[in-house]
Homo-oligomer: A and B are copies of this chain.
Amino acid sequence: MLLDNTAKGVFPIAPTPFHPDGRIDEASVDRMTDFYLECGSTGMTVLGVMGEAPKLEGGEALDLAKRFVKRASSIPVVVGVSAPGFAAMRALARASMDAGAAGVMIAPPNTLRTDDQIVTYYRQAVEAIGEDIPFVLQDFPLNFTVVMTPGVLRRIITENASCVMVKHEDWPGLEKISALRNFEKDGMRHVSILCGNGGAFLDFEVERGADGAMTGYAFPDMLVDLVKLSSSGQRDAAHDLFDAHLPLLRYEQQPVVGLAIRKYIMARRGIIASDAQRKPGAAMSATAKAEVEYLLSRVARHDARAKLAAA
């Protein structure tokens, strides 16, 4: 199963579940994967920054990827392979595909500046990993400080047939989606667009032509419903659902502490056993936990999935 440009729906960004002592919690890996499948995810993305990939030893990372792939057998798994050098990127990409991954995701190094530097980087990355591996282009200026114009995205897509998807998380980004879809009307090859940024603009992004979400919000089941409602033309219902979650979603989207919040909620929902991060990681204060509980209780008024037994 290879990723291609028809991908739609929701690919959760999977965190890596740990035991409190820092070991990978394999039972939670399986339970979380099952949860993603049950709630209608159409794919999964693993070993990204939010998956604490930089804290995993090489062999450990690959074993984890294999476990995800095996458990999620019916849906494609994308593996993050961004690395400071092409040798490491190639090694991880080839090994991931051998392990059954459907494709890889590549973010630009934060030292790129000019249009040509960015385009050249992706050309070299494809040369390194091979043209046979479908890849996702991650466009996340807020995090990587690399700014890609729509024209630069078009150049990368046009030059590299193996670029099948854009993980869109520019901010602002709505007009960029429209620009890419307009390029397609003018002849640019079609690519899938899945949106990140914690889902903060997903309500309008799908209306602009995005195919869904690739992000880690702790209620991927809500994201799945939102994409379905929107694509079936139930606009108000889609926004009603989204708006009920937005206060919590915004809270989780905070940089630095976002992962702690996400894991806290996922553990509260029983999707993973513990909210532990491998060291070093940012912890939540007691006040922050209370704020999340309050937000959960508010979401629960509109969405029963947020109604949780007391912590």
Contact = CB atoms under 8 A, between A and B. Distances in A.
A291 B87 contact: no
A156 interface: no
Given A114-B152, A116-B151, A124-B280, A200 B88 contact: no
A88 B204 CA distance: 38
Contact of A149 (B116, B247, B250, B255): B116
Q: Label chain A's interface by main secondary structure.
A: helix
Interface in A97-139: 110-111, 113-117, 120, 124, 127
Interface of A: 53-58, 60, 83-88, 90-91, 110-111, 113-117, 120, 124, 127, 145, 147-149, 151-152, 171-172, 174-175, 178, 200-201, 203-204, 207-208, 239, 242-243, 246-247, 250-251, 254-257, 279-280, 285, 287-288, 291, 294, 298
Given A116-B149, A175-B288, 18 more contacts: A54-B84, A55-B86, A55-B87, A57-B88, A57-B90, A57-B91, A110-B110, A110-B111, A113-B147, A114-B149, A115-B116, A116-B151, A124-B280, A174-B288, A204-B251, A239-B247, A246-B247, A250-B250
